[in-house]
Amino acid sequence: MELLGQKIKLRRLVKSDADQLAYHANNPKVFANVRDFFPQPYLPENAVEFIDLIKDEAPYCTFGITTDNTVVGVIGLVPNTDVYRHIIEMGYWLGEEHWSKGYATEAIGLMTDYAFNTLNKRKIYCCVYAENTGSIRALEKNGFQKEAVLKDQVFKLGRFQDEQRMAKWNDNFQATS
Residue 41's CB is within 10 A of a number of other CB atoms, namely 11
- pLDDT for 37: 94
**CA distance between the termini of the chain:** 26
The DSSP secondary-structure symbol of 62 reads: E
Percent of the chain's residues with pLDDT above 70 = 100
The pLDDT-based confidence of 177 (bands split at 50, 70, 90) is confident
Q: Is residue 63 part of a domain?
A: yes
Total structural domains in the chain?
Answer: 1
The DSSP secondary-structure symbol of 15 reads: G
- pLDDT for 44: 97
Mean of per-residue pLDDT scores for the chain: 96
Q: Is residue 6 part of a domain?
A: yes
- pLDDT for 106: 98
Q: Is residue 175 part of a domain?
A: no
Q: Is residue 45 part of a domain?
A: yes
Residue 22 belongs to a domain with what CATH number?
Answer: 3.40.630.30
User: What residues make up the domain containing 65?
Assistant: 2-169
| CB 124 within 8 Å of CB 116 | yes
Q: Is residue 177 part of a domain?
A: no
pLDDT tens-digit map of 117-138: 999 999 999 999 999 999 999 9
Q: Is residue 174 part of a domain?
A: no
Q: Is residue 94 part of a domain?
A: yes
Q: Is residue 114 part of a domain?
A: yes
pLDDT tens-digit map of 48-100: 999 999 999 999 999 999 999 899 999 999 999 999 999 999 999 999 999 99
- pLDDT for 175: 86
